[in-house]
A and B are shown apart, each in its own frame.
Chain A
Amino acid sequence: MSEVDPKELRIVGFLCNWCSYGGADTAGVSRFKQPTDLRIIRVPCSGRVDPLFIIKALLNGADGVLVSGCHPRDCHYSDGNFYARRRLEMLKRLLPFLGIDDKRFHYTWISASEGQRWQQTVTDFTRQIHRLGPLHSDKEAQP
């Protein structure tokens, strides 16, 4: 997308198979254009996402991490996303203590029919990461 810096940054996305991965597919089928920085990892449920994956990604070179699952109460596995929400909310508060701006991590809920919302989320998050620039943990704002 033109508004986003053509030089790519490294963004990792964990998407649940049933809702958000489907939503990203729907965006594709509808040809909703998106920035190209994001790399998607498919997981069965947002509840499968271990916060340590996110920390590992951020410490090993990712500039941002996005997690997306089913809307609360619409989880394919009943309440996997409730577990995800608790863990990820904790993680968000923990990140500054690791010297990482918590704006580099975002979690959201997108259903399989919400292609447009997926496009918007990817575009907004990518723009946010570009605003923050590449992650050098030593230069990041301290809490």
Chain B
Amino acid sequence: MTNLTAGVLLFPLLGFVILGVTGSALPRRMILAVAWGACGLAFLLATISFFSMLGTPPAARTSDQVLYTWVVSGDFQVSFGLLFDPLSATMLMIVTGVGLLIHIYSAGYMEDDPGFWRFFSYMNFFIFAMVLLVSADNFLFLLVGWGLVGLASFLLIGFWYQRRTAVAAAQKALVINIIGDFGLMIAIFLIFRQYGVLNFYNNANGPGVFSALDPATTGNRLQLVIALCLFLACAAKSAQLPLYMWLPDAMEGPTPVSALIHAATMVTAGVYLVARAHPLFELAPTALTIIAVIGGVTALFAATIALFQLDIKRVLAYSTISQLGYMFMGEGVHNYSAGIFHLTTHAYFKALLFLAAGAVIHALGGEQDMRQMGGLRSRLRTTFWTFLVGTLAISGIPPLAGFWSKDEILSSLLAQATANHKAISYLLWGIAIVTVALTAFYMFRLFYGIFMGDYRGSGRASHAGDEEEEEPSRRTAGRFTIHEAPPIMTIPLIILAVLSIIGGLVGSFDLISLSKWRPLTAFLAPVFADVHTMATASFGVEWISTLVSVGFALLGIFAAWRLYGRGFQYKENKNPFYQLLYHKYYVDEILDAVIVQPILWFGRTAARVLEGDVLDGGSRAVAGGLRGISAGLRRLQTGYVRNYALAILIGVVLIILYYAVRG
């Protein structure tokens, strides 16, 4: 099996370095050549390696390649090692494939931007960091990748750094991510302390953590703490409660960034980590339950907020949070491959939705508010159809991709519920089902709001048959021609739409048990072979779950059609419930009041009191004291000779008294 992961890792790095150093001087074609070349080569190598893996027998599908020995300390050894197994192969394909499509799309979207070269160098850097994260073979190298993707996210969210909101959003993302990094580091410390090694599996460097685990310690407090610390990192990176606040604000970045990082790849790092470290999670069943519950609550919570948002990217952001919750729910019931499956299908349709939204924004000259849209169906045909595909996919309508992966998760949830008969498991399944309806509703609200009804904005509709004309008057005084995006942007949309349609079939097609064809699950099986506690769904359970979920999805679509089918009419709604959801449960305001303002107050007060009064005051007090002493002593210098003679006499008397007392 050829393991070309090193190339997959290094080409984007090379692209980043070249573009970073020389990019500002290169012409546009060269920049694209380097960027597309780097990402394209990465994808090519990943594909070759993937097919090579398919050609090897399942038992031999693990390859661990050490690039460079990093830390050697006695028996402990950690290196830059790349692990290539089914899980990392899947992730590599997704990252480089979707990444390449978005690189192509961005050439059109960012064409007017003066920071064109900077954008592509950051994108290449992100690809490099993400590849590093998913192919690391030990926890420490994973931590490096974890931090680097956080950095890439910061750079790309704050890409338009002259905007204060963008910089603030980037800072918010970084701060919340650091909380997660803290959790990951604590987990690594605990793992090292307990097991003495940090490699995942046994390799040339030494034994691995997962081989050293003792099943007898299941349920121990230490395992629980490790698992929860790891999940803290996942919650921060994958925007779960309570660390989700950064993702909606991250929409300040360019839309391709939102598509790549905050929909398809970076936010899925948390899901990947749970899957990769599943032996550790298996030893802490309570942690898995917590993960499932948090995933479910987050899914519902985010879906409720998305119901009434007006910014189209915000709706998609909250929908991402919601779908990530689904993935964690799947992993929480021990079905890791279901979580990964949903990760892949979500990558397709969420990237599609974001890129299509980007096409709309691009066509409207930067408009993101749904109230200014409508009736774009006739103007943006390709976008319309691809967006529809994406919306159907995310709502879970068969036979599109989203249906298969969601169904997998839902039936796992119901199977778990029927297996252990716990109320909480049933509740989780119920939450998931309700969220299906909500998802369908708000996505179709979005769809109708953008494309149906009459155009409510200030632009001028183009004539029929008018293709893209780069008129200078396009941006004059708010009136411009609305036209479809150029092919460089629409072709990736079409490709992603096709993937959203057929992508699910790769994962599983055993719905009616006609065929137990579950390629992805089978592919990932060697990785998760040690998971024995997964409840398999019986025939009846699966059918019930499927029918109920499709029914709820149709219900949601129907409700959206009734309300918004003729277009989105914005009405000011004073209902307090509506206001609560519209303002995202006032979470940001609460956090600002409870955490941010006290910290700022503390900082200001510390600066004033500690530095001003204590430190400065202390030194001033010393100076003042010395001045006082010297002023007091100065009074001895009266200038009168008689006083000085008196002083001499005092000295003499003291000496004589000393001798008198001494005897």
Co-complex (A, B): no
Residues of B in contact with A (beta carbons under 8 Å apart): none
Q: Which residue numbers of A lie inside 8 Å of B, CB to CB?
A: none
